[in-house]
Amino acid sequence: MKWYIKREKTNPKAINRIVNNPVIAQVLSKKEFRNKEEIDNYLHPEISTVYNTTMENLKEAAQFLCNNTNLIFGLVGDYDIDGCMSTYLLIQLMNLLKITYHVYLPDRIIDGYGLNKNIVNKALNDKCEVLLTCDNGIAAFDSISYAKEKGLYVIVTDHHELTTNDNGETILPNANILVNPKIGKYPFKYLCGAGVVFKLIIAVFKEKNWDLKKTIQYLPYTAFATIGDVVELLDENRAIVKYGLPMINKTKNIGLNALIKETKLDEKETLSVHDIGFVLGPCINAAGRLTKIDLALEMLLTTDKEKAVYLAKNLVELNKERQDLTNIALEKLKEIVKEQYMDDKILVLYDENIHESVAGIIAGKIKDEFYKPTIVLTKSSTDGIAKGSARSIEEYNIYKELTAVKYILKGFGGHSMAAGLSLNISDIDEFRTALNDNSTLNETDLTPKLKIDAAIPLKDVTLETADQLTALEPFGTSNPKPLFGVKNLIVKNIKPLGKTGEHFKLQCKDKNNDMDFILFFRAEEFMQELKNKYEEMDINNSFRGKGAIPIDLVYTISVNEYRGNRTAQTIIEDYRI
């Protein structure tokens, strides 16, 4: 692991005049701010920014809905968190406008992503006159053309990347109305699908001259999707999550409350980004991965408490099943990598028994472990065809590299860090060879990197600093929790924590200060490194409060509250001994 300090993008002295804390100023200096207003907007995001409805075609879409409430609508969502929450929000809007509607959610395995001809035909059979998509549609060229040929009016709300032709020119499907923040000059391009639907709701309220304050009830679902879809937590998304997240466990939604209780999060005063991204969100995603996302949507819509509990339990069980499927396949593929592919720079792995829906999760975990671009493939429902997912590292544009070998592939799509693809099973070896032969990755590229926000002495790790760091929340994509570095500490004492001693508390000191650092789930690894480098007596002394082992640390700072006492808490991210 290579450590390095992030480069400054803004003058820290100028920032310190605003925040009056040199540690916070150092962290903020690694972000790009053009003026004091941008710093203020980052530190104090206002909910009013979310009410900007100048997105291209948004007003036209709102007007169409308001003026055509007599038509039958077909709502087309997607099979993940964002698709589910977007559909839920559209249903609330349909109910407000008293519009008759049908809901169509694609099956991940049978239908694939988004709008397709099968869904169009279902909508026609249900006498729909309008198709309204959410979280999909911007790349559904053929399906939209087919729908229009059959006489359907098509409105697309989406947030995904726009398609370009071979000349790099943007091309758009011929829907009647296209709403996507990436079209035109809308200032913030990174809303999720539910964020776009939330905008549509606001635009309808404006058209109807309804009380805009009542739209706040839709914010928690938008925040949930914003976290779950892992979009950038900047600008409008910061405001959505900052104000919407505390509302999630105060919601009156029976189904969501049941899921919160079933995952044992009901006693928390406020849920965290982690709770949504790693506990609740995966339960909803599990429905789309292993059965159908309809199960999660049904839970959100039910008004029956017993049914809500039943559905929530099902989602939790599905997520456990998904975890088991992932872990079994992961361990198997890790061994295959170690036995066969350690010299490869690009890992291409095939196992016909992997469930197609967890290929991306497994690819991401293997990529993290070996720090190599990873493609996990499995047998598809079509004879002779493999399908899978790719996850990459910053140094390797996976979409560009797949484009270079597209002559081998049946199909692919994605972006620089992730992609989906299909190819003949018989071509996998050729595909693996071609990617590795084309690769220019070197040893430096394939070395994991830890980006440190600031190197600070122990004296600056204070409760005041920890409190001020909370102003930088919510943390997530493009706004990670700040990392701090310190060198040349001495491990004075080591205390095992946890039922089996799987954690360590390290009491460390510099010339003038002592501080406790917590090392989670790595006690065994830490002990092994100590044994490799130090005599038994030196190690034993460290467990008796008489240690003298030098250490460098990368860590996070947060506020710890216990029995009414508030202290600065430091959690180790990485170490060197």
Architecture of the domain made up of 343-438: Roll (3.10)
Alpha-carbon 526 to chain mean position: 30
| pLDDT of res. 236 | 96
| pLDDT of res. 119 | 96
CB contact at 8 A, 97 and 65: yes
CB contact at 8 A, 74 and 104: yes
| pLDDT of res. 57 | 98
| pLDDT of res. 13 | 92
User: What is the pLDDT averaged over residues 241-262?
Assistant: 95
Give the model confidence (pLDDT) of 410-461 as tens digits.
988 777 888 889 999 999 999 999 999 999 999 999 999 999 999 999 999 9
pLDDT at 267 over 80: yes
Give the model confidence (pLDDT) of 15-41 as tens digits.
999 989 999 999 999 999 988 999 999
User: What is the pLDDT averaged over residues 517-521?
Assistant: 97
| pLDDT of res. 72 | 98
- For the four alpha carbons of 539, 545, 548 and 549, in that order, the dihedral sign comes to positive
Give the model confidence (pLDDT) of 44-66 as tens digits.
999 999 999 999 999 999 999 99
If we measure between CA atoms, which residue out of 132, 134, 145 comes closest to residue 174?
A: 145
Give the model confidence (pLDDT) of 95-135 as tens digits.
999 999 999 999 887 887 789 999 999 999 999 999 999 99
Residue 30 tokens, joined: 């690694």
If we measure between CA atoms, which residue out of 112, 110, 157 comes closest to residue 137?
A: 157
Question: Residues with Cβ < 8 Å from 497, sequence gap 6 or more?
Answer: 503, 504, 505, 518
| pLDDT of res. 458 | 95
- As a whole-number percent, the residues of the chain with pLDDT over 90 amount to 88
Indicate the helix (H) or strand (E) that contains 496.
Answer: strand 484-497
Three-state SS at 34: coil
User: What is the pLDDT averaged over residues 344-363?
Assistant: 94
| pLDDT of res. 163 | 84
If we measure between CA atoms, which residue out of 175, 177, 158 comes closest to residue 120?
A: 175
Classify domain 2-42+449-576 by CATH number: 2.40.50.460
Residue 334 tokens, joined: 């890790």
| pLDDT of res. 411 | 85
pLDDT at 349 over 90: yes
CB contact at 8 A, 201 and 93: yes
pTM comes to 0.91
pLDDT at 195 over 80: yes
Three-state SS at 391: strand
Give the model confidence (pLDDT) of 473-501 as tens digits.
999 989 999 999 999 999 999 999 999 99
| pLDDT of res. 330 | 96
Q: How far, in Å, CA of 130 to CA of 120, rounded?
A: 10
Q: How far apart are the first and last CA of the chain?
A: 13
pLDDT at 399 over 90: no
Q: How far, in Å, CA of 295 to CA of 429, rounded?
A: 39
- As a whole-number percent, the residues of the chain with pLDDT over 70 amount to 100
Classify domain 50-219 by CATH number: 3.90.1640.30
Give the model confidence (pLDDT) of 138-174 as tens digits.
989 999 999 999 999 999 999 988 888 878 889 999 9
Question: Residues with Cβ < 8 Å from 220, sequence gap 6 or more?
Answer: 244, 245, 247, 248, 251
pLDDT at 284 over 90: yes
Q: Where are the domains of the chain?
A: 2-42+449-576, 50-219, 343-438
Residue 455 phi, psi dihedral angles, 5° rounding: -100, 115
| pLDDT of res. 414 | 77
Q: What is the mean pLDDT of the chain?
A: 94
DSSP state letters, 397-434 = -HHHHHHHTTTTEEEEEE-SSEEEEEEEGGGHHHHHHH
